[in-house]
Every structure is written in structure tokens, then in C-alpha cells.
Chain A
Amino acid sequence: MLKILIVDDSLIIRREIKKFLEALGHVKVYEAFNGKDGLMKYQYAEPDLVTMDITMSGMNGIRTTQAIISEYPNAKILMITSHGQEDMVVDSIKVGASGYILKPITQDSLGKAIGRIFKKYAVNDDDLLDDE
């Protein structure tokens, strides 16, 4: 079971991700409603994984990722994006994100993305492929 922080300014997406995570067995889930809140909650909870929305008003997901990584270089951050744009994903990876998934999110896509970051949580061998 992982301790996971969800950083997203969309209430419905936070709820949806939380529901999927709980169904996947990760019951220690924290929520942050924007980048600044995410940074504070990270310091408090020190989670194993962060799911991070890229597009948030104020401090966006890339800047928040950068801030977390500068303080916690081993932080694992999974970017959640609705933009199938290479440059945003590349920017996220450049600042230290561990992976990304595209919306709409499904329990399966989230589980596989977590499996790619934490091999012990891989659902099957395909999840270990770095294919995104």
C-alpha cells in the first residue's frame, strides 16, 4: 500500500482518482486543491507518490513538481494531463516527473502507471514496459 497525495484543482478529478486508488488498495490518500497546497501537504505527509495535474491556476503542475523535486529529489510524481502535447510532458519529465497519464483516467490506466513507477505494484508484465 502506497501513501499517495493527489494534487488537482478539480474536485471531481480528486474524488475520481481517490476512488480508483482506494480500489487499487492504496487507502492512505491525501488531497491538495492547488500547487501551493500540494507543496505544503507534501511536506506534511511525505507521500510515496504524488498525482499531479499539469494545468492548475496559480502554481501549475510543472512548477509544483519542480518545487517538490528541488526539496525532495527522490519524490515520485505522476503527471495527470488532458493535453496530448509532447512539450508539456517533456517539460514535466525534465523537471523530474516519473511518468504521466492522459485524461480521461481509468482505474486500469492509473494502476498501470503506478506499476511502471513502483514495480512491486505492477498489475502484469506489460506494466513494466516504459512505453509512454
Chain B
Amino acid sequence: MKMILDLLVPQLKRFLHGHINMEIKKMIATKSHIKHMVLKDYTSIVYMSNKLNAIAMISFEESTLKKIVNVFMHGDKVKSNEKIIIYDSVAGETMNIILGLSIPSFPNKGRGITTTSPTIIDDILSIENLKNDIICSIDCVTNFGKLSISILEINNKKRHINC
């Protein structure tokens, strides 16, 4: 799983730098017990299955995600009544894009890996079928705030999430 995480990080950096104009100033590799892991303000996950049973997760502080939202909105203002849906959508799409950019660098060029649409979560304990209690993450400090990216191994093809 750490190897997969290592493959996501360069694409995360590339996307943030090239598309968002956001720089990662500091990165820290962490291992957390699931019970102690605290999600940031907006968190998105994408399931990978078939050749790899895992979840890719990205968690943003609001200030970090706000910068990405602004880029996706191309100058349009986010109306207050649609803020959550827009922020959730951008969090999901960011995970989707980073994973999509990374998959070709996975073993066997990622062939045979299928991914789901992104899902937004508020509580990591809502994810069932996790294989390990320990989660490997990279915590990133950017010039707009923090975010973290993680890989969670799951047991088999059967997927459940309580939302």
C-alpha cells in the first residue's frame, strides 16, 4: 500500500502545481490507527477493485479546497446555498483526477483495476471491510492550507459504506 501511496504523491504535486498553482511546502508520512484518525473538513474516497482492493482517500482543510474550487469555478462565485455540494464535488473530482493520473504508473500499468465514482465521507469509521487498522498517509502543508492523501486496504470485492 505504501508503494501505491508513493505513486500518488508525484501526481498530486504535479496536479496542484500545474493546474491549481498550489505548492506543497512540507510532506510528512504518517501511520495512524483508524480510531485516532481525524478527517479534515472535506474528504473524498474512491474504491479500486479487481487487481487491487483498496481505497484512495484525500482530505482537505477548507482553505486548501477553496483554492481548488476557485480554479474549477473559473472566476464564478460559489453561492452560499450550493457551497457544500460544490466543495464536495471538487473534493471528489480532485481524488478522481489524481488517481486517474497515477494509475498508469501502477504495476502492469494499472491494467485490470477498476475504480468507482468518488464518495464523500464525514467519518472514517463509516468505511467497512478495512483490512488493517493502521492507515498510511502523507500529510501535506501547502501555501493555502493542509491536505492529506491516504491508501486504505480493503478485504475483498464486497464494498460497504455507511453514509
A contact residues vs B (CB 8 Å cutoff): 9-13, 15-16, 19, 55-57, 81-87, 102-104
- Residue pair B96, A103 in contact (C-beta under 8 Å): yes
Assuming the A-B contacts A57-B117, A85-B111, are A103 and B100 also in contact, with contact meaning beta carbons closer than 8 angstroms in the complex?
A: yes
7 contacts between A and B (CB under 8 A): A10-B92, A11-B85, A12-B86, A15-B73, A84-B103, A102-B100, A103-B96
B contact residues vs A (CB 8 Å cutoff): 15, 19, 69, 72-74, 76, 85-86, 89-90, 92-93, 96-97, 99-101, 103-104, 109-113, 115-118
- Residue pair A87, B111 in contact (C-beta under 8 Å): yes
- Residue pair A83, B100 in contact (C-beta under 8 Å): yes
Q: Give, as a whole number of angstroms, the nearest-CB distance from B91 to chain A.
A: 10
Residues of chain B within 8 A (CB-CB) of A87 are 111-112
- Residue pair A104, B15 in contact (C-beta under 8 Å): yes
**In-complex Cβ contact of A82 among B72, B99, B109 (8 A):** B99
Assuming the A-B contacts A55-B116, A104-B15, are A12 and B96 also in contact, with contact meaning beta carbons closer than 8 angstroms in the complex?
A: no
**In-complex Cβ contact of B90 among A12, A83, A103 (8 A):** A12
Residues of chain B within 8 A (CB-CB) of A13 are 89, 93
Q: Give, as a whole number of angstroms, the nearest-CB distance from B51 to chain A.
A: 11
- Residue pair A104, B97 in contact (C-beta under 8 Å): yes
Assuming the A-B contacts A11-B85, A104-B19, are A82 and B74 also in contact, with contact meaning beta carbons closer than 8 angstroms in the complex?
A: no
**In-complex Cβ contact of A10 among B93, B103, B104, B110 (8 A):** B93
Q: Which one of A9, A11, A81, A83 has the greatest number of beta carbons of chain B within 10 Å?
A: A83
- Residue pair A57, B116 in contact (C-beta under 8 Å): yes
Cα distance, A57 to B159, chains bound together (Å): 14
Q: Give, as a whole number of angstroms, the nearest-CB distance from B85 to chain A.
A: 6
- Residue pair A84, B97 in contact (C-beta under 8 Å): no
Residues of chain B within 8 A (CB-CB) of A103 are 93, 96-97, 100
- Given contacts A10-B117, A11-B89, 8 further A-B pairs with CB under 8 A are A9-B117, A12-B89, A19-B74, A84-B101, A84-B104, A86-B109, A103-B96, A103-B100
Q: Give, as a whole number of angstroms, the nearest-CB distance from A58 to chain B.
A: 9
Cα distance, A98 to B54, chains bound together (Å): 32
Assuming the A-B contacts A11-B89, A12-B90, A16-B72, are A82 and B117 also in contact, with contact meaning beta carbons closer than 8 angstroms in the complex?
A: no
